[in-house]
Every structure is written in C-alpha cells, then in structure tokens.
Amino acid sequence: MDTVEEYGVKRSEITVIYRFSQPDAMPLVLPQSYNGTSRVVRIPTEPQTIGDHLRRRRLALKLLQREVAERLGVVEASIWSWEANTCELEIRYMPAIVVFLGYNPLPPPKGWAERLVQCRTLMGLTQEESAKRIGVDQGTLARWERGEREPTGAFAARAEKLLSTAEQAWPLSAVRTA
C-alpha cells in the first residue's frame, strides 16, 4: 500500500501480489464482503472535454464542486454534470471557465469558420448576439461558421474586429496548456 500524488491530489495505490503455489503455513482467510465506502478519484490525465479540464483544475486547486460553482456563478449540480460529461455547458459561462482554468481549453481552430465559432464561444456569445455585433443577420453568420461563405468588404472588417477582440483576451493559436 502506498500514497501517490498526481496533479496535486493524493490517492492510495494498492499493489496485490498473487502466489499460485500452496503456502507452507495455514492459508489466510479474508472476509468475503466489502463495504464499498472507498471512492476512486478520477483525475483526467489528458483532458478531452471542458468537463475534464474543469475537474483536473478543481482537484489541483483542492476545491469542492460547490466552491467552483460559486466562482463560476452556477449551481453545484452544473459542475457535477459538466465534470461527468453528462450535459453540455451553456456558452454564456465560457468566459468565466477560461478565467478559472487560466488557459483556453479549446483546440486550435482550423480555418476561418472554426476561428469565428471559437471566438464567439470564448466570448460567451450566442450566434444571434455575435451576428448583431458584426451587423449581419444570424443566417449569414451561420453560413460563415459552417464554411459555406466568407465575409467580404465591410463585413469582413467587422468580423475581423470581433475576432481580434477575442484573440487579444485568449490566443486561439495557443496550444492547450492543461
């Protein structure tokens, strides 16, 4: 039995050695029941989802889900759901999550369309809100985000202004630093 620290969280590690030959002494009889009160703490070593990133950061800071919920302005059940990857978070909470994590957890965008979506996400804007800021209708922005079209002229300048605002706060080309 040993105590191991991983990403700032201590946990027990038990090594069991099996012997397949007949012992010389009387065999040890172990109890047949287990009460199951011991819990395994899952620490994401390679976070894939926002929930994995949240859980890893929370455990590294030794915070309770309730404490993280207070910092992000959500209920504790939201943190539990996000960490368990049972539901997706609302886009409006993304700016607070990025601040809590201290880095951009999203993969680097590939191309104009993904860059638009990621900037909007990091700013916590819905497609409708983002379209209003650029001065286009939501359908046009949706086509840009799907990669069906690219903005031109004054619309391109407005879209670039929105992108540069987000990129100044959270560099999109930065590799995840988990």
Radius of gyration for the chain, computed over Cα atoms and rounded to the nearest angstrom:
24
AA letter at 125: L
Report pLDDT digits (tens) over 145-169. 999 988 888 888 888 888 887 777 6
Percent over 90 (pLDDT), the chain: 33
The answer on 132 and 69 residing in a single domain is no
CB atoms within 10 A of CB 162: 17
The answer on 136 and 77 residing in a single domain is no
Report pLDDT digits (tens) over 99-125. 999 888 888 888 888 989 988 888 899
Tokens representing 62?
């030794």
Classify residue 64: in a domain, yes or no.
yes
Classify residue 150: in a domain, yes or no.
yes
The answer on 57 and 129 residing in a single domain is no
The answer on 56 and 10 residing in a single domain is yes
Classify residue 31: in a domain, yes or no.
no
pTM of the model: 0.68
Counting the structural domains of the chain, the total is 2
**Domain at 90, CATH number:** 1.10.260.40
The answer on 118 and 94 residing in a single domain is no
Tokens representing 37?
């009160």
Tokens representing 121?
């996400």
Q: How many angstroms separate the CA atoms of 108 and 84, rounded? A: 24
The answer on 141 and 61 residing in a single domain is no
Q: Which H or E run contains 51?
A: helix 50-60
AA letter at 154: A
- The reported pLDDT for the residue numbered 46 is 86
The answer on 123 and 165 residing in a single domain is yes
Rounded to whole angstroms, what are the CA distances from 178 to 52, 70, 98, 163?
A: 10, 22, 12, 24
The answer on 86 and 118 residing in a single domain is no
CB 116 within 8 A of CB 144: yes
Q: Which H or E run contains 10?
A: strand 9-13
The answer on 94 and 143 residing in a single domain is no
The answer on 84 and 10 residing in a single domain is yes
CB 107 within 8 A of CB 135: no
Classify residue 26: in a domain, yes or no.
no
Classify residue 32: in a domain, yes or no.
no
Q: How many angstroms separate the CA atoms of 136 and 17, rounded? A: 67
The answer on 80 and 45 residing in a single domain is yes
Percent over 70 (pLDDT), the chain: 81
The answer on 9 and 86 residing in a single domain is yes
Structural domain boundaries, residue 14 = 2-19+40-101
Classify residue 94: in a domain, yes or no.
yes
Classify residue 143: in a domain, yes or no.
yes
Task: Select from 101, 120, 146 the last residue of a domain.
Answer: 101
